Structure 1
Amino acid sequence: MATLDSDDEITAATIGELEPYAVKVVIEDYNPGWPIWYSEEEAAIRAALGVLVLRIEHTGSTAVRGLAAKPVIDILLVVPDTADEDAYIPALEAAGYTLRIREPNWLQHRCLIRRTENGAPWSVNLHVFSPELGAVEIERILAFRDWLRTHDEDRVYYERIKRELGQHDWKFVQHYANAKSDVVEEILRRAQRG
């Protein structure tokens, strides 16, 4: 999982104007509607991209039943070549997504977003990888999700850390994500030892 460590790195990867987060991270109790929201997004993405969708998964905390989370649906999308933006970005933009992050030096990762403040019914982070370059990261993301789905102790531990970190003021939401990285790596090590 990428960590953009400095404000300069965050700025360099961001498409458009980078605005400070300026609010506390809101962690909500688990919402049983989150999987439904994901299903609707998956259908829209498949309709927009067709055969370019090599894999699509609900990831992040909203994908783990019982886990409190920011009310943002995280989606992992695998397309043939993330660097070939013309092949998939226009169709996703037509479906209401905005390209927000471009990381050519980190697995050619792209992140598109949809936000409620821009009229979307719910907020979405759509993380896009290619199968070859992103293979290890794709498996890490899914291993983390699957471990939390089946290991209550780590789910409770992760939620406690998220709630504690949510009480801090963060200049950018990436800083909050970075602050969780040690705990994520700790849990991932357990998941990978399985």
Structure 2
Amino acid sequence: MASTSDILTFSDDEPPAGETPWVVRPSVAPIDVVGADPSWPVAYAKVADRVRNALGARALQIEHVGSTAVPGLPAKPVIDVDLIVASSADEDAWCPALERAGFTLTVREPWWHEHRMLKLADPLAHLHVVSPDAPEPWKHRVFRDHLRRDSADRDLYAQTKREAAELATNGEETMMEYNARKQAVIRDIYARAFRSAGFAA
């Protein structure tokens, strides 16, 4: 399991010199934040079933995270899913089966908790693959559950997402730049979420 320190710490480090996280480079496209859709949990269930059918016991944990996992929260219509496997660095043990199931490996970050991300076209989803000791799944669940409970932070995040999407789209920015526009507010919400979860006084 991840340490408490790792869960509470955020890393803004750039990739090592000469390295890139991109297996498939992102393209610039309009960023569309839409109203909450009650069908998103159904879409998640389809993604989770596809992962389970592909990996069987190798899928140690599958979790719906991100904004589409929060009822009532506007979001990009992309289902974010955390997948824990025994070793995300051992791609041969899990990646070929997922690729046969329709997923495409797009991000590889050995320097950041051995994180990988795969995309699925239908339903549109991002699958984040990590090992059991990675802190990100813990962060994601704390953030998700806080937003499910806290209407003020849910509204704040919705407003921030809409403003960031408009600015990023008008500026023809990538998704990474859109995410950077939200970062300060996300970190503020995380601080409250961590306190609510009992991680800090």
The normalised TM-score by structure 1 is 0.89
Note if contact 1:108-1:129 (Cα within 8 Å) is conserved in structure 2.
Answer: yes
1:14 equivalent among 10, 17, 22? 22
1:114 is matched with which residue?
Answer: 120
1:193 is matched with which residue?
Answer: 195
CA deviation string 1:50-102 (max 9, x = no partner):
11111110000000000000000000000000000000000100110000000
**Alpha-carbon distance between aligned partners in 1 of 2:78 and 2:12, rounded to the nearest angstrom:** 19
1:61 equivalent among 67, 81, 93? 67
**Alpha-carbon distance between aligned partners in 2 of 1:2 and 1:71, rounded to the nearest angstrom:** 26
**Alpha-carbon distance between aligned partners in 2 of 1:3 and 1:25, rounded to the nearest angstrom:** 23
Shift of 1:171: 2.7
Task: Figure out how many residues of one structure are paired with residues of the other and give that number.
Answer: 183
1:93 equivalent among 85, 99, 104? 99
2:131 is matched with which residue?
Answer: 130
* SS class of match (2:179): helix
CA deviation string 1:1-53 (max 9, x = no partner):
665769x98x810003x2431x3210000000000000111111011001111
2:105 aligned with 1:104, yes or no?
no
Deviating beyond 6 angstroms after TM superposition, the runs of 4 or more aligned structure 1 residues are: none
**Alpha-carbon distance between aligned partners in 2 of 1:156 and 1:145, rounded to the nearest angstrom:** 13
For structure 1, the 5+ residue unaligned runs are none
Counterpart residue identity of residue 152, structure 1:
S
Note if contact 1:98-1:113 (Cα within 8 Å) is conserved in structure 2.
Answer: yes
Note if contact 1:75-1:124 (Cα within 8 Å) is conserved in structure 2.
Answer: yes
* SS class of match (1:180): helix
Shift of 1:183: 1.2
Shift of 1:138: 1.6
For structure 2, the 5+ residue unaligned runs are 1-9, 197-201
Between the aligned residues of both structures, percent identity stands at: 39
Shift of 1:176: 0.7
**Alpha-carbon distance between aligned partners in 2 of 1:191 and 1:2, rounded to the nearest angstrom:** 18
Note if contact 1:97-1:113 (Cα within 8 Å) is conserved in structure 2.
Answer: yes
Counterpart residue identity of residue 27, structure 2:
P
1:151 is matched with which residue?
Answer: 150
Counterpart residue identity of residue 162, structure 1:
K
**Alpha-carbon distance between aligned partners in 1 of 2:132 and 2:172, rounded to the nearest angstrom:** 33
Pair 1:99–1:4, CA change in 2 (3 A): farther
**Alpha-carbon distance between aligned partners in 2 of 1:81 and 1:12, rounded to the nearest angstrom:** 21
Counterpart residue identity of residue 176, structure 1:
Y
1:27 equivalent among 29, 33, 36? 33
**Alpha-carbon distance between aligned partners in 2 of 1:85 and 1:153, rounded to the nearest angstrom:** 40
* SS class of match (2:71): coil
